[in-house]
Amino acid sequence: MKRFCFCAEIHIPTILPRHKTYTRDGENDSRHLRREEQTVKKIASENILPFFQFVQKINSVSEKKFKTGISISGIALTLLQKYAPEVIARLSSLKQNGYIELFSETWSNSAVSGFNKNSFRRQVQQHDRLMQSYFGEVPQLLYVNSPVYPDDFIDNLSGLNKKAVFINSNMLNESIFQKFFGVRIKTDGEVLVFPINYAMSKLMQELDFNLLQQKTPYYSRGVIRRLKKQGFDNFPSVINFNLTREKCFFHLSRSLTWEKLFKEMLADSDTEFISPAETLDAKNTEGLKETDFSEILSRATLFDVWMKNNYQVEAFKQQLNIDARLNAVNSGALFREWDILQDMDHLYYMDDKFAGKRFATRHFNPFRGPAAAYENYMEILNKFSDKIQSRTALRPAVLNDKSNV
């Protein structure tokens, strides 16, 4: 039996104003706010809501046999509540009907926070509070979108009261992974680790929907065979689908096409869809051998547009520097601004692929090219760094004033 856990990632980055107008109140610039509103509404209507419709329909016809995991960032939740609240209402309805499970994650969709234990804890707790406010509960499974993290990252998860983490394996070695499944007798606070199968994820992300519509069932049967071939008998395959990165990636016709495909998969006696929570069941990892660990990790490496050029490397260095300085200052107002600025997508826009017309027309990017994205972002980071410096310079005077009272 091949078991699949299907997860959708939803993230909408805040659109930053041009650095020339970025001041303390730069986020109030009306032109950039209009552009942000248009982007959020477009993503909601063309990507997110059609996908929700698919989830509802496939669960209705399959008696809830396709419970999807949803990873949605705090930034996305905040923007959707502001510009497209119907998405939040629909998400809440899907959860109440038992069609989806929600993940915990960092509020900012940030890679930076993973390199500072205090930052990571603050980000996850901030996201958990938002999930509690919107949906009435704190998720017990953590989803890590970042492709990079330090060696001790997994060990730092134990204090967050999470049962498992879904993560890419770019920085995850075989010995660490084996540690969490070599012995299935769990101790209190132990977190199970599930690598995301990016070989399968890429297959699903790049499906040719036109062929799927024209040649069903022949094309869909081929997709099912490929998924079963890459799946494991003794370990669930976590499939990630990035719902919001591409323009118009899940409009209504594609929703109907996916419905046809997944009906066939659900009718296949050798395949089963399990919920994120069900991955924790010991039966899904019974018989897992040492030789399986390397094979699982080999299919879980994320080959993404991340840290591929000097622009991204330099920007990430500056992010890490600012995060360390800001934790020393510990300013609530600056943290709120920094939570928006540290978004991974600001570095994503710097990738060289955006210079290619075919890629640029399919993906959201407010900049004309990598150099423009880098220049704008670094100027904004420099201005934010100046704010930290000013706040740091004021702290001794403030402390002295308080000591004299």
* Pair of tokens at residue 46: 């063309």
3-class SS shares of the chain: helix, strand, coil, % to 5: 60, 10, 30
**What phi and psi values does residue 100 have, to the nearest 5 degrees?**
-135, 160
pTM of this prediction?
A: 0.87
d(CA 122, CA 127) in angstroms, rounded, equals: 9
Contact indicator for 344, 111 with CB cutoff of 8 Å = yes
Q: What pLDDT is attached to residue 216?
A: 57
Q: Are 382 and 252 part of one and the same domain?
A: no
Within a domain: 266:
yes
* Beta strands 100-102 and 2-10, pairing class: unpaired
Q: Are 348 and 316 part of one and the same domain?
A: yes
6: domain CATH number is: 3.20.110.20
Contact indicator for 240, 103 with CB cutoff of 8 Å = no
User: How many CB atoms are located within 10 Å of the residue 1 CB?
Assistant: 11
Residues of the chain with pLDDT under 50: 24-27, 185, 395-405
Q: What pLDDT is attached to residue 173?
A: 82
Within a domain: 162:
yes
d(CA 255, CA 217) in angstroms, rounded, equals: 16
Q: Are 120 and 231 part of one and the same domain?
A: yes
Q: Is the dihedral of CA 210, 211, 213, 219 positive or negative?
A: negative
* Beta strands 164-167 and 100-102, pairing class: unpaired
Out of 256, 271, 298, pick the residue that ends a domain.
298
Q: Is 136 left (phi over 0), alpha (psi -120 to 50) or beta?
A: left
For 112, the domain range is: 2-298
Helices (H) and strands (E) in the chain, counts: 16, 8
Q: What pLDDT is attached to residue 316?
A: 94
Contact indicator for 87, 40 with CB cutoff of 8 Å = no
Out of 275, 298, 321, pick the residue that ends a domain.
298
Q: Are 199 and 348 part of one and the same domain?
A: no
* Pair of tokens at residue 28: 């109030």
Q: Are 12 and 121 part of one and the same domain?
A: yes
Q: What pLDDT is attached to residue 183?
A: 55
Q: What pLDDT is attached to residue 24?
A: 44
How many domains, in total, are found in the chain?
2
Residue 351's nearest CA partner among 375, 333, 374, 335 is 374
Beta bridge partners of 71: 9
Q: What pLDDT is attached to residue 98?
A: 93
Q: What pLDDT is attached to residue 338?
A: 94
Sheet-wide strand order for 141-143: 141-143, 164-167, 192-195
Within a domain: 207:
yes
Alpha helix (H) residue ranges in 49-116: 49-62, 74-83, 85-96
Contact indicator for 391, 325 with CB cutoff of 8 Å = no
Q: What pLDDT is attached to residue 215?
A: 57
- Judged by DSSP in three states, 279 sits in helix
Q: Are 234 and 326 part of one and the same domain?
A: no
Q: Are 289 and 328 part of one and the same domain?
A: no
pLDDT digits (tens, 9 = 90+) for 330-368: 778 899 999 999 999 899 889 888 777 777 777 777 888
Cis peptide before 85 (omega within 30 of 0): no
Q: Are 213 and 347 part of one and the same domain?
A: no
Q: What pLDDT is attached to residue 275?
A: 94
Q: What pLDDT is attached to residue 100?
A: 95
d(CA 254, CA 35) in angstroms, rounded, equals: 26
Q: Are 293 and 396 part of one and the same domain?
A: no
Out of 298, 321, 350, pick the residue that ends a domain.
298
